[in-house]
Structure 1
Amino acid sequence: MTLYEGATSEGGKSPSIWDYFSHTFPERTNMQNGDVAVDFYHRYKDDIKLMKELDMDAFRFSISWARLIPSGKVKDGVNKEGVKFYNALIDELIANGIQPSMSLYHWDHPQTLEDEYGGFLSPQIIEDFRDFSRVCFEEFGDRVKMWTTINEPYIITVAGYDTGNKAVGRCSKWVNSQCKAGDSATEPYIASHHLLLAHAAAVQEFRKCNKTSQDGQIGIVLSPLWFEPYDSTSLEDNEAVKRALVIELDWHLDPVIHGDYPEILKKQLGNRLPSFTAEQSKMLKNSSDFIGVNYYTGRYIAHLPYVDPARPRFKTDQQLEWRVTNHSNHQIGPEEDRGILHSVPEGLRKVLNYIKDKYSNPTVYIKENERTNMQNGDVAVDFYHRYKDDIKLMKELNMDAFRFSISWARLTVSGKVKDGVNKEGVQFYNALIDELIANGINLRCPSIIGIILKFSRMKFGDRVKMWTTINEPYIITVAGYDTGNKAVGRCSKWVNSQCQAGDSATEPYIASHHLLLAHAAAVHEFRRCNKVHINKLL
Structure 2
Amino acid sequence: MAMSNGKAFAPNEDTATLNRSSFPAGFIFGTATSAYQIEGAANEGGRKPCIWDTFSQCPGKIKDGSSGNVACDSYHRYKEDVGIMKDIGFEAYRFSISWSRVLPDGKLSGGVNKEGISYYNNLINELIANGLEPFVTLFHWDLPQTLEDEYGGFLSPKVVEDFRDYADLCYKEFGDRVKHWITLNEPWTFTNNGYATGHFAPGRCSQWQQKNCDSGDSGTEPYLVSHHSLLAHAAAVQVYRKKYQAASDWLFIYPNGIRELLLYTKRKYNNPIIYITENGMDETNDETLSLEEALADNHRVDYYHQHLSSIQSAIEEGVDVRGYFAWSLLDNFEWDLGYSVRFGINYVDYKDGLKRYPKLSAKCCKAITPTQDTASLNRSSFPAGFIFGTASSAYQYEGAANGGGRGPSIWDTFTQRYPGKIMDGSNGNMAVDSYHRYKEDVGIIKDTGFDAYRFSISWSRLLPHGKLSGGVNEEGIRYYNNLINELVANGIQPFVTLFHWDLPQALEDEYGGFLSPRIADDFRDYADLCYREFGDRVKHWITLNEPWTFSIGGYAMGQFAPGRCSEWQHRNCTGGDSGIEPYLVSHHQLLAHAAAVQVYKQKYQASQKGKIGITLVSLWVVPFSDAKHHHNAAERALDFILNASYFTDFLVNLTAERNGVPIGAKAASDWLYVYPRGIQDLLLYTKRKYNNPTIYITENGIDEMNNGTLSLKEALADNVRIDYYHRHLSFLQRAIKDGVDVRGYFAWSLLDNFEWYIGYSVRFGINYVDFNDGLKRYPKFSATWFKNFLKK
- The TM-score with structure 2 as length reference comes to 0.40
Once the two structures are TM-superposed, the CA of residue 296 in structure 1 deviates from its matched residue by 0.7
Once the two structures are TM-superposed, the CA of residue 394 in structure 1 deviates from its matched residue by 9.4
Instruction: Output the CA distance in 1 between the equivalents of 2:488 and 2:623.
Output: 46
- Helix, strand or coil at the partner of 1:142: strand
Once the two structures are TM-superposed, the CA of residue 146 in structure 1 deviates from its matched residue by 0.6
Say whether 1:160 aligns with 2:520. no
Cα deviations across residues 182-223 of structure 1 (Å, max 9, x unaligned)?
111111000000001100000011112247754310001111
* Paired amino acid for 1:333: G
Of 412, 420, 445, 1:19 maps to 412
> What are the equivalent positions in structure 2 for 1:291-330 lying under 5 Å apart?
293-301=644-652, 321-327=653-659, 329-330=660-661
Give the corresponding residue for 1:522.
Answer: none
Of 637, 654, 668, 1:244 maps to 637
> What are the equivalent positions in structure 2 for 1:127-138 lying under 5 Å apart?
127-138=521-532
Of 420, 426, 429, 1:35 maps to 429
Give the corresponding residue for 2:603.
Answer: 209
Once the two structures are TM-superposed, the CA of residue 294 in structure 1 deviates from its matched residue by 1.8
Once the two structures are TM-superposed, the CA of residue 128 in structure 1 deviates from its matched residue by 0.5
Give the corresponding residue for 1:332.
Answer: 663
- Helix, strand or coil at the partner of 2:401: coil
Unaligned stretches of 5+ residues in structure 1? 253-292, 302-320, 383-389, 400-538
* Paired amino acid for 2:719: N
Please identify, of 49-58 and 115-124, the stretch whose mean Cα deviation from structure 2 is larger.
Answer: 49-58
Once the two structures are TM-superposed, the CA of residue 42 in structure 1 deviates from its matched residue by 0.7
Instruction: Output the CA distance in 1 between the equivalents of 2:551 and 2:473.
Output: 28
Cα deviations across residues 77-136 of structure 1 (Å, max 9, x unaligned)?
111111111111111111111111110000011101111100000001100000100010
Q: In the superposition, relative to structure 1, how do residues 240 and 395 fare at CA in structure 2: closer, same or farther (>3 Å)?
A: closer
Say whether 1:182 aligns with 2:513. no
Instruction: Output the CA distance in 2 between the equivalents of 1:231 and 1:33.
Output: 40
Give the corresponding residue for 2:785.
Answer: none
Please tell me whether the aligned partners of residues 553 and 559 of structure 2 are also in contact (alpha carbons under 8 angstroms): yes
Once the two structures are TM-superposed, the CA of residue 235 in structure 1 deviates from its matched residue by 2.6
- Helix, strand or coil at the partner of 2:592: helix
Instruction: Output the CA distance in 2 between the equivalents of 1:154 and 1:195.
Output: 9
Please tell me whether the aligned partners of residues 433 and 775 of structure 2 are also in contact (alpha carbons under 8 angstroms): no
Report the aligned-residue RMSD.
2.8
- Helix, strand or coil at the partner of 1:296: strand
Please tell me whether the aligned partners of residues 398 and 430 of structure 2 are also in contact (alpha carbons under 8 angstroms): yes
Instruction: Output the CA distance in 2 between the equivalents of 1:125 and 1:346.
Output: 38
Instruction: Output the CA distance in 1 between the equivalents of 2:607 and 2:496.
Output: 13
Instruction: Output the CA distance in 2 between the equivalents of 1:150 and 1:392.
Output: 27
Structure of greater Rg: 1
Once the two structures are TM-superposed, the CA of residue 330 in structure 1 deviates from its matched residue by 1.6
- Helix, strand or coil at the partner of 2:699: strand
Please tell me whether the aligned partners of residues 137 and 212 of structure 1 are also in contact (alpha carbons under 8 angstroms): no
Q: Report how many residues are paired.
A: 329
Q: Which has the higher contact order (CA 8 A, sep 6+)?
A: 2
Q: In the superposition, relative to structure 1, how do residues 297 and 397 fare at CA in structure 2: closer, same or farther (>3 Å)?
A: closer
Q: In the superposition, relative to structure 1, how do residues 135 and 398 fare at CA in structure 2: closer, same or farther (>3 Å)?
A: closer
Instruction: Output the CA distance in 1 between the equivalents of 2:662 and 2:769.
Output: 44
Q: In the superposition, relative to structure 1, how do residues 205 and 338 fare at CA in structure 2: closer, same or farther (>3 Å)?
A: closer
Please tell me whether the aligned partners of residues 702 and 721 of structure 2 are also in contact (alpha carbons under 8 angstroms): no
Instruction: Output the CA distance in 2 between the equivalents of 1:38 and 1:23.
Output: 17
Instruction: Output the CA distance in 1 between the equivalents of 2:684 and 2:773.
Output: 48
Please tell me whether the aligned partners of residues 143 and 213 of structure 1 are also in contact (alpha carbons under 8 angstroms): no
Instruction: Output the CA distance in 2 between the equivalents of 1:299 and 1:23.
Output: 32
- Helix, strand or coil at the partner of 1:174: helix
> What are the equivalent positions in structure 2 for 1:356-395 lying under 5 Å apart?
356-370=687-701, 376=719
Q: In the superposition, relative to structure 1, how do residues 112 and 58 fare at CA in structure 2: closer, same or farther (>3 Å)?
A: same
Identical aligned pairs, as a percentage? 47
Say whether 1:141 aligns with 2:535. yes
- Helix, strand or coil at the partner of 2:497: strand
Once the two structures are TM-superposed, the CA of residue 378 in structure 1 deviates from its matched residue by 10
Give the corresponding residue for 1:341.
Answer: 672
Give the corresponding residue for 1:287.
Answer: none
* Paired amino acid for 2:408: P
Q: In the superposition, relative to structure 1, how do residues 359 and 76 fare at CA in structure 2: closer, same or farther (>3 Å)?
A: same
Please tell me whether the aligned partners of residues 16 and 66 of structure 1 are also in contact (alpha carbons under 8 angstroms): yes
Instruction: Output the CA distance in 1 between the equivalents of 2:432 and 2:686.
Output: 34
Q: In the superposition, relative to structure 1, how do residues 143 and 391 fare at CA in structure 2: closer, same or farther (>3 Å)?
A: closer
Instruction: Output the CA distance in 2 between the equivalents of 1:66 and 1:96.
Output: 27
Of 443, 446, 465, 1:71 maps to 465
> What are the equivalent positions in structure 2 for 1:99-114 lying under 5 Å apart?
99-114=493-508
- Helix, strand or coil at the partner of 2:641: helix
Cα deviations across residues 269-328 of structure 1 (Å, max 9, x unaligned)?
xxxxxxxxxxxxxxxxxxxxxxxx320111222xxxxxxxxxxxxxxxxxxx2111123x
* Paired amino acid for 1:330: V
Once the two structures are TM-superposed, the CA of residue 338 in structure 1 deviates from its matched residue by 4.5
Cα deviations across residues 414-470 of structure 1 (Å, max 9, x unaligned)?
xxxxxxxxxxxxxxxxxxxxxxxxxxxxxxxxxxxxxxxxxxxxxxxxxxxxxxxxx
Once the two structures are TM-superposed, the CA of residue 336 in structure 1 deviates from its matched residue by 2.2
* Paired amino acid for 2:701: E
Once the two structures are TM-superposed, the CA of residue 48 in structure 1 deviates from its matched residue by 1.2
Instruction: Output the CA distance in 1 between the equivalents of 2:721 and 2:667.
Output: 18
Instruction: Output the CA distance in 1 between the equivalents of 2:662 and 2:428.
Output: 35
Give the corresponding residue for 1:89.
Answer: 483
Q: In the superposition, relative to structure 1, how do residues 108 and 332 fare at CA in structure 2: closer, same or farther (>3 Å)?
A: same
Say whether 1:397 aligns with 2:774. yes
* Paired amino acid for 1:294: S
Once the two structures are TM-superposed, the CA of residue 224 in structure 1 deviates from its matched residue by 1.8
- Helix, strand or coil at the partner of 2:491: coil
* Paired amino acid for 1:332: I
More strand, by proportion: 2
Instruction: Output the CA distance in 2 between the equivalents of 1:244 and 1:152.
Output: 16
Please tell me whether the aligned partners of residues 407 and 461 of structure 2 are also in contact (alpha carbons under 8 angstroms): yes
